[in-house]
Amino acid sequence: MSEIGTDEPQGHAPPEPDETGFSGIIEEHQRHVYSLALRLTGNAAAADDITQETFISAWKHRKGFRGESSLKTWLLRIAANKARSYWRWKKLRAWVGLGPREPDGEAPSLEELLPDDPAGRPEQAAAAAELERRVQAAISALPRCQGEVAALRAQGVKVAEVAEILGMAEGTVKAHWFEARKKLETALGEYL
Amino acid sequence: MKDEDKEDRLLSLLAARRSDAFWAGQKARIMAARSEIRGIARAWLLAPAAIALVMAFALTRAPRHEPAAEPQAVTVAFLENLDMLDDMDVLEAVPEEEL
């Protein structure tokens, strides 16, 4: 993988990824980007769209990535901004009376949740679907700032990087995470 | 359970779990979308060459502007000479030796 794929800040413009490099970047980061988008929108189709748009935007503006933050942080910032745009767009549609185009909290299809190993599929799929529903409900119940902080922390992003992505002070991020964590532990206690 | 372990467990719960087929399909869609963009970008690279071709074709096909027709100039001069006929009385009054 090219240097652009590393997680640490480079401090200088990284080389442009070629076909293989871009493919590797997607593989390395798509789970984080999709997870963040899913937790922030609560909608599987929107999360898929945001993931695709995030990587395409990153590709289009790859010359603008100066390596001051890690590639992962950069991608997650793009995804978080797109998730905010998604909510603005939804509010606008509601305001002009168009209403939601798709039902809120659209769940992933069973096919998406099914494990690749066919053994024990029905039980695993049912358990995965229930866990998914509970986790999403718990995050969606959080105030927006706490939800954003929790969704980013879940991608392994450090407090300082969360602060950078969301444009908050580190202390504010810590306070939001403290509150979010208490609520999530209460809601998901049986899984912990 | 230690506090840090509990936090790690909570964070892992929040991750989206999908099948390998899902991730592979998503990656393929992203790569395809990028290829489309590159195709469009390449098409735009050809635009200057296409414009140059069209201009060259238009220039070679456009009718040439001929210089002002000579007969018209002659005609004007001729009419001016005709105007001089009005001064015929003067001309007739001039002695032949002076002409």
Minimum CA–CA partner of A136 in chain B:
B14
For residue B50, the model assigns a pLDDT of 74
Write down the pTM of the prediction: 0.70
pLDDT at A107 over 80: no
pLDDT at A3: 41
CB–CB contact A26 B13 (8 Å): no
pLDDT digits (tens, 9 = 90+) for A88-101: 988 888 888 776 55
What residues of chain B lie within 8 A of the CB of A191, using their CB?
9, 13
Does residue A46 contact residue B54 with C-beta atoms inside 8 Å?
no
pLDDT, tens only, B39-63: 666 666 666 677 788 888 888 776 6
Q: Do A156 and B11 touch (CB under 8 A)?
A: yes
DSSP code string of B2-33: -HHHHHHHHHHHHS----HHHHHHHHHHHHHH
Query: Which one-letter DSSP state was computed for residue A66?
Result: -
**Shortest distance, CA B4 to any CA of chain A (angstroms):** 12
The rounded distance, in Å, linking the Cα atoms of A83 and A92 is 14
| Cβ distance of A151 and B14 shorter than 8 Å | yes
What tens digit of pLDDT does each residue of A145-177 get? 999 999 999 999 999 999 999 999 999 999 999
Contact A28/B6 with Cβ under 8 angstroms? no
Cβ contacts of A72 within 8 Å, gap of 6 or more: A7, A29, A32, A155, A157
Nearest to A186 by CA among A130, A146, A139: A139
Chain A residues inside the 8 Å CB shell of B13: 131, 135, 188, 191-192
pLDDT digit string, tens, across residues A37-79: 999 999 999 999 999 999 999 999 888 888 878 899 999 999 9
Instruction: Look at B22 and A112 and tell me if their CB atoms are within 8 Å.
Output: yes
**Calpha distance A60→B37 (Å, rounded):** 9
- Choose the closest CB to A153 out of B11, B17, B31: B11
- Could B23 and A113 be called an inter-chain contact, meaning their C-beta atoms sit closer than 8 Å? no
